[in-house]
A and B are shown apart, each in its own frame.
Chain A
Amino acid sequence: MTILAISFGLYLFSLWKRPLLYGALALQVGYMVSRGAELGRLPLVGPHDTLVFLTASIAAFAVVFGLNLKDRKNFMNAVAIVAAVFTAFAMTSKQHNSPLPPVLKTFWFELHVVLAFMSYALFGIAAVLGGIFLKEQKNDADGLAYRAVLIGYCLFTLSMVFGGIWAYLAWGTYWMWTPKELWTSILWAYYSFYLHARLRPWWAGKPMAYLGIAGFAVVMFTYLGVSLLMKSSHSF
């Protein structure tokens, strides 16, 4: 937990010295590796581990996307704040250290979860870029936000397909009528709307930025809201 506290501090101090963000990211990667070694599996169960993975994914994608921005200061600062907030939530969330039930010991589960959280991170990046576009009106932020959503949508689709295959093997059906499945469909339909809306000139510019920001709210509810508040196979 000390490692997470240090990475939280580093994210905040990276607002003044950007290289500290790389340090925070390296620490979180190290933390996940050590958790994985300790547990003997990928640490991706429960809000604590998934929040750490989400934070590290957002920071890692931000480094890549930031390279394509002419002026990345505001973008990296916004990402640092988001990463610090998620790290703080991870620190206050309970660790899931007990052995996994047999049904979770499969690479379908690992693929499903890893891809889902990578896509969430990309949708988060798109939301931050949307905010940057609204503030600075720079087209490179708008183009990058679209790219983040497109790649995120691809990963999310892969995650859903792998999740469906796993559900069929583990629970006998590829579709279950639970709130999580419904919210996952809402999220998928939302970003389908985003990608189709971009093809129409009316939606170009600010409306797309607002759509990207609102999309991340849907992501957060699908991830945390449904898992914490509603009963399903995805409950924490």
Chain B
Amino acid sequence: MVILRYILNFLLSLRTTLWLLGLSLMLMFAGAFVMPGRQEFQQLHSMPMFEWIIKQPLEITWWLWGLIGALAVMAVNTLFCSVESIVKKRKVTQWLLLISPQVIHVGFLFILLAHLLSGLGAYQTTAVAHEGSVLQLSPGNTLLKVNNINIKLDYYGYVSDYSVDIEYLADNKVIDHDTIRPNDPSDKTGLNIIVKDLRAYPAAAVLFQIHSEPGAVWALTGGVLFMLGITTLILLKIKMEK
């Protein structure tokens, strides 16, 4: 019982939050110097983080393991503190002032969830294609066919705009069409397909980058909640001061 109370107090403490934030800062600071010097981190873009981390030596991943641990405890700490705050202050009249920091916390938790999901299932691959090329998208049996590659060059020969017309095929039937442009990827199959690079000569060619990001929706939800919470909090504080 004493141990349980100790754990509960630990998880409800703002001091715990500060220690965890401080620890996370130190670990990320260390990682910022370990990461640029090691080639192994280049592979981290093309496979799920958890799959990558278990294959790497501890000498380059210790800070990331430590960060994952600190963030896991911080998630529980955030949840406990938010619940306690709502329970303790539930009778206040300014409920928006009570809720907005908790909305920020929920946003933060969603962002952590997004990274967890992406860490477990995100991957990236590349493929070169020409007009008429057909690519197999995996997982599944959907095919991607490149119909047109339109490249606009400026006076100096730089690419100023482009569009790539594609269609998705399954069982030899066209199931969907799409056009990929700058900042306008194709995500009709659950995969996010962007144009990484293009070449106009000798024959038009395109380098696709194909991403799977299971955490993207959660990251967006978390980001929006965080923005809403903090904007509301600031507006309320300004209003109170006036």
Contact = CB atoms under 8 A, between A and B. Distances in A.
Interface of A: 98-99, 101-103, 105-106, 108, 150-151, 153-154, 157-158, 160-161, 164-166, 168-177, 179, 182-183, 185-186, 189-190, 192-193, 196-197, 199-200, 230-231
Interface in B24-69: 24-25, 28-29, 31-32, 35-36, 41, 44-45
24 contacts: A99-B158, A102-B183, A103-B183, A150-B234, A150-B237, A161-B226, A165-B220, A165-B223, A166-B183, A168-B213, A169-B184, A169-B185, A170-B194, A172-B185, A172-B192, A175-B219, A177-B41, A179-B35, A182-B35, A186-B29, A192-B21, A193-B18, A196-B18, A199-B14
Contacts of A182: 28, 31-32, 35
Interface stretch (B4-12, B88-96, B137-145, B159-167): B159-167
B156 interface: yes
**Pairs of residues from A and B, 3 with the lowest C-beta to C-beta distance, nearest first:** A102-B182, A172-B211, A161-B223
A82 to B, nearest CB: 24
Contact of B32 (A103, A183, A193): A183
Given A175-B118, A200-B18, A189 B211 contact: no
Nearest to A176: B45
Contacts of B184: 169
Interface of B: 14-15, 17-18, 21-22, 24-25, 28-29, 31-32, 35-36, 41, 44-45, 114-115, 118, 122, 124, 154, 156, 158-162, 182-185, 192-194, 209-211, 213, 215-216, 219-220, 223-224, 226-227, 230-231, 234, 237
Contacts of B211: 172-173
Nearest to B198: A102
A199 B16 CA distance: 13
Interface of B is mostly: helix
Contacts of B220: 164-165, 174
Given A99-B158, A168-B216, A172-B194, A193 B21 contact: yes
A170 B182 contact: yes
Contact of B25 (A160, A169, A193): A193
Contacts of A231: 36
Nearest to B33: A179
Given A161-B224, A169-B184, A190 B14 contact: no
Contact of B159 (A101, A169, A173, A183): A101
A194 to B, nearest CB: 9
Contacts of B115: 175
Nearest to B155: A99
A103 B182 contact: yes
A200 B15 CA distance: 8
Contacts of A157: 226-227, 230
A153 B118 contact: no
Contact of A173 (B28, B161, B213): B213
The listed residue with most B CB atoms (<10 A of its CB), out of A101, A108, A150, A169, is A169
Contact of B162 (A102, A160, A172, A190): A102
Contact of B160 (A102, A165, A183): A102
A98 B25 CA distance: 37
Nearest to A230: B36
Contacts of B159: 101-102
A101 B230 CA distance: 33
Given A99-B156, A164-B223, A183-B32, 11 more contacts: A157-B226, A168-B192, A172-B192, A173-B213, A174-B216, A175-B219, A177-B44, A182-B28, A182-B32, A193-B18, A196-B18
Given A102-B182, A154-B230, A179 B36 contact: yes
A106 to B, nearest CB: 5
A196 B156 contact: no
Contacts of A164: 219-220, 223
Contacts of A102: 159-162, 182-183
Contacts of A175: 115, 118, 219
